[in-house]
Amino acid sequence: MSDDTTPFSGEVDWGALRTEAEEAMRRAYVPYSKYPVGAAALATDGRIIAGCNVENASYGLTLCAECSLVSMLHMTGGGQLVAFTCVNGESDVIMPCGRCRQLLYEHSVPGMMLETVSGIRTIDEVLPDAFGPRDLQQYSA
Ligand code: THU
């Protein structure tokens, strides 16, 4: 078992992650878009966390599946994200929206992997030259 500072070094079971994402997707609250999304990720300590989208009558307040996933990360012990996938209601892998790429970046290990529509990619490939926590740390140092 690794801790926050020891990135997970085993094989990623993408099938298991996708199954968790599909289960989460079935819990989505999507009365407006009718587009359920489920996300799942492997954390540094090996646990799998998940999330679903939760919409709101004030559409702009909608919480993407990644929002509840990141909340679950912290509510269940913290750590960082090693591998991530998300699916829609047809179990197709979808890309995290732009805002959620930034959200994931904040909580990712360097080189975090994502299952994408074009195969396995790193967080740096889907969010190049990202602004993140290290920029703020360097500025205040
Ligand atoms: N959605 C997510 O949950 N995550 C994404 O990365 C893409 C979009 C949700 C938001 C909204 O409830 C629905 O998909 C349609 O945009």
- Interval 19-68: pLDDT, tens: 999 999 999 999 999 999 999 999 999 999 999 999 999 999 999 999 99
CA of 87 to the centre of ligand 1 (A): 10
Assign 9 a pLDDT band (cuts: 50, 70, 90): low
Nearest ligand 1 atom, CA 65: 3
Separation between Cα atoms, residue 92 and residue 116, nearest integer Å: 10
Q: Does the model's pTM come out above 0.75? A: yes
Separation between Cα atoms, residue 105 and residue 19, nearest integer Å: 23
- Mutation pick for ligand 1 pocket among 26, 62, 84, 92 (CB with most ligand atoms within 8 Å): 62
* Residue with token string 């959200």: 103
Confidence check: pLDDT of 2 > 70: no
Going from the C-alpha of 115 to that of each of 41, 56, 122, the distances in angstroms are 10, 28, 9
> Both tokens of residue 57?
């009558």
Mean pLDDT, range 9-13, rounded to an integer? 84
